[in-house]
């Protein structure tokens, strides 16, 4: 009895429907993910014709490396392309759900699939490596050092802060830049032209400003939004009004634990240092709208009051300290008023980093010269033996002299006359300079 087999054309129709069904359930960002360097958009300094990574891949030399860049910039894609192009076994871990146990298991598998220190060493890709604890990162050291794996880590955070020094020293760090407008538009056009689903629709990109704005430069987010916008119709014209109607609110991009956290507070402090109260209040608003801890902001104001204002206006430190105490008691939403007042006061204050520079120079000299001997006349002499050894001998008690001052040396002999503090040019510190000039004739204040 012959089996009943459907004609080939029926299988073909079924296959197409299944293929289309699976495509519909796979995000657009995955469907058009580049498979080779030629298709990779942007990052020409890394993967262009004369890019650093292009040259390394061509030579078959792939060092352990960290890919650092904002979200949705193609770090995972680049790692996959490197592995595919170089013909290496590829293992991947996510720092979110992998512990030391999982790391060791993958390393054991990698050891069995590649030779030591060969051009075909397996690649171990770790997404969000900044989320790995110190012990998890420590567990990678041996495998990287002995050549069992070539590590590729992806991070949105500054590796200097988030990757342990021992691991960082064994990796090259490559920075991936944010996509510019042309890159993102090119990505949308590729999706329209090449995606198995979108290519069946008639999509016109008339205006893209709103679409690019709501995506915040994140390519993955851009494609996800774009896919939602064009999902219901076969013929769509993308305009700014259409996008804003569909997407009501563009949330403030601010990650309290991420790179934006450090970048925005950096802009905040630099605005205060630059005496721009308007910019200071703007960046303060960005932090507040992003849900930043008001105590964190107040702590930064405390540091700025000393580092950037210092003795040009000592009251600034007092006000900043009172601000910290006040926001600790008051809380939100009223803390924003107190923080605004303090930020504006600091921005408008005269500036001096003389104290900051003085301690920097003093610490640097200590590192260079080590533990210099303390002059005998400055040493404490609580016992007879110490007095017999001349501890404290010759010390002049300043209050016994006119103006509560006596000219004597307080530094170790080998650095006598060294000047760390250079008063800044402001009213208060100019008065300091005059006082020092009168007292310390041997110094050129």
313-348 per-position pLDDT tens digit: 999 999 999 999 999 888 778 899 999 999 999 999
Can you tell me the distance from the alpha carbon of 214 to that of 64, in angstroms, rounded to the nearest whole number? 35
Confidence band (pLDDT; 50, 70, 90) for 261?
Answer: low
Instruction: Write the burial class of residue 217 (CB in 10 Å: 0-12 exposed, 13-18 middle, 19+ buried).
Output: buried
User: What are the phi and psi torsion angles at 355 (to 5°)?
Assistant: -65, -40
Paired residues of 155 in beta bridges: 68
Residues 283 and 336 in one domain: yes
322: CATH: 1.20.272.10
Query: Is there a domain that residue 163 lies in?
Result: yes
pLDDT beyond 70 at 279:
yes
- pLDDT tens column, 372-397: 888 988 888 888 888 888 888 889 99
Query: Phi then psi for 158, rounded to 5 degrees?
Result: -65, 115
Judgement on whether residues 299 and 415 belong to the same structural domain of the protein: no
pLDDT > 70 in the chain, percent? 89
Residues 63 and 164 in one domain: yes
CA distance 392 to 443: 25
Is the CB of residue 155 less than 8 Å from the CB of residue 129? yes
Write down which residue in 330, 348, 366 finishes a domain.
Answer: 348
* Mean pLDDT for all residues in the chain: 83
Considering the domain architecture, whether residues 334 and 399 belong to the same structural domain is answered as no
* Residue 289 clears pLDDT 50, i.e. is over it: yes
Burial of 353 by CB count in 10 Å (0-12 exposed, 13-18 middle, 19+ buried)?
A: middle
Last residue of some domain: 140, 158, 175?
A: 175
CATH number at residue 386: 1.10.3710
318, part of any domain = yes
Residue written as tokens 């770790």?
126
Task: Name residues whose C-beta falls within 8 Å of residue 114's C-beta, 6 or more positions apart in sequence.
Answer: 88, 89, 120, 121, 122, 148, 149
Q: Would you say residue 242 lies in a domain?
A: no
> Which of 71, 63, 31 lies closest to 172 in space, CA to CA?
63
Same domain, residue pair 167 and 278: no
Contact call for residues 47 and 54 (beta carbons, < 8 A): yes
3-class DSSP assignment, residue 224? helix
- Gap between the Cα atoms of 421 and 353, Å rounded: 10
Q: DSSP alpha helices (H): ranges in 37-133? A: 44-47, 52-59, 75-86, 100-113
Q: Would residue 20 count as lying in a domain?
A: no
Q: How many domains does the chain have?
A: 3
Q: Within this chain, do residues 379 and 296 fall inside the same structural domain, yes or no?
A: no
**CATH number, position 64:** 3.40.50.300
Residues 306 and 417 in one domain: no
Q: Is residue 31 included in any domain, yes or no? A: no
170 and 49 fall within a common domain: yes
How far apart, in whole angstroms, are the C-alpha atoms of residue 218 and residue 47?
A: 19
Please tell me whether residues 51 and 160 are part of one structural domain.
yes
- % the chain with pLDDT above 90: 27
Torsion over CA: 153, 158, 160, 161 (sign): negative
Residue 250 lies in a domain: no
Q: 77-91, 112-126, 378-392, 405-419: which range is least confident on average?
A: 112-126
Q: Print burial letters for 413-424: b (CB count within 10 Å at least 16), e (below 16).
A: eeeeeeebbebb
User: Domain residues for 401?
Assistant: 374-439
Task: Judge whether 277 and 287 are in contact, CB under 8 Å.
Answer: no
Q: Which residue has the tokens 């104290």?
A: 355
Whether residue 369 is contained in a domain is answered as no
Residue 371: pLDDT band (50, 70, 90) is: confident
Q: Are residues 324 and 427 located together in one domain of the fold?
A: no
pLDDT at 25: 64
Select, from the ranges 52-61, 109-118, 336-345, the one with the highest average predicted confidence (pLDDT).
336-345
Q: Which of 97, 71, 91 is nearest to 79 (CA)?
A: 91
The reply to whether 408 and 336 lie within a common domain is no
Dihedral pair phi/psi, residue 127, rounded to 5° = -80, 140
Q: Which two tokens stand for residue 371?
A: 């533990």
Q: Are residues 116 and 151 in the same domain?
A: yes
Question: pLDDT tens digits for 63-99?
Answer: 899 999 888 888 989 998 888 888 888 888 877 777 7
Q: Which of 348, 382, 404 is a domain's end point?
A: 348
Name the least confident of 12-26, 151-165, 180-194, 406-420.
Answer: 12-26
In tens, the pLDDT along 39-54 reads 888 888 888 888 888 8
27 belongs to a structural domain: no
User: The whole model's pTM is what?
Assistant: 0.54
């Amino acid at each position: 009895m012959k089996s009943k087999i459907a004609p080939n054309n029926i299988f073909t129709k079924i296959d197409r429907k299944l293929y289309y069904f699976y495509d519909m359930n796979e995000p657009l960002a995955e469907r058009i993910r580049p498979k080779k360097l030629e298709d990779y958009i942007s990052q020409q300094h890394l993967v262009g014709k004369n890019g650093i990574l292009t040259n390394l891949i061509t030579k078959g030399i792939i060092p352990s490396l960290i890919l650092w860049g904002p979200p949705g910039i193609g770090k995972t894609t680049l790692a996959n392309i490197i592995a595919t192009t170089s013909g290496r076994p590829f293992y991947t871990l996510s720092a979110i759900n992998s512990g030391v146990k999982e790391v060791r298991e993958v390393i054991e598998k990698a050891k069995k699939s590649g030779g030591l220190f060969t051009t075909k060493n397996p690649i171990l890709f770790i997404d969000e490596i900044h989320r790995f604890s110190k012990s998890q990162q420590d567990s990678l050291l041996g495998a990287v050092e002995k050549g069992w794996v070539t590590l590729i880590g992806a991070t949105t955070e500054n590796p200097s802060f988030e990757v342990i020094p021992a691991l960082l020293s064994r990796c090259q760090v490559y920075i991936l830049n944010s996509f510019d407008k042309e890159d993102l538009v090119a990505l949308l056009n590729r999706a329209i032209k090449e995606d198995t689903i979108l290519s069946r629709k008639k999509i016109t990109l008339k205006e893209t400003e709103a679409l690019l704005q709501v995506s915040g430069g994140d390519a993955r987010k851009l494609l996800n939004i774009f896919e939602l916008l064009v999902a219901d119709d076969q013929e769509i014209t993308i305009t700014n009004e259409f996008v804003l109607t569909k997407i009501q609110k563009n949330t403030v991009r601010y990650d309290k634990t991420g790179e934006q956290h450090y970048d925005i507070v950096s802009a905040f402090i630099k605005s205060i240092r630059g005496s721009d109260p308007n910019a200071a209040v703007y960046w303060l608003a960005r932090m507040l709208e992003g849900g930043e801890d008001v105590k964190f902001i107040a702590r930064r104001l405390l540091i700025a009051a000393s580092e950037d204002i210092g003795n040009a206006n000592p009251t600034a430190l007092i006000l900043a300290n009172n601000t910290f105490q006040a926001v600790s008691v008051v809380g939100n939403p009223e803390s924003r008023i107190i923080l605004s007042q303090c930020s504006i006061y600091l921005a408008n204050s005269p500036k001096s980093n003389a104290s900051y520079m003085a301690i920097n120079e003093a610490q640097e000299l200590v590192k260079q010269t080590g533990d210099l001997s303390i002059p005998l006349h400055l040493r404490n002499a609580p016992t007879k033996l110490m007095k017999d050894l001349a501890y404290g001998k010759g010390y002049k008690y300043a209050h016994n002299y006119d103006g509560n001052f006596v000219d004597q040396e307080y530094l170790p002999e080998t650095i006598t006359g060294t000047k760390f503090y250079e008063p800044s040019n402001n009213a208060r510190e100019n008065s300091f300079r005059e006082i020092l000039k009168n007292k310390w004739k041997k110094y050129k204040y």
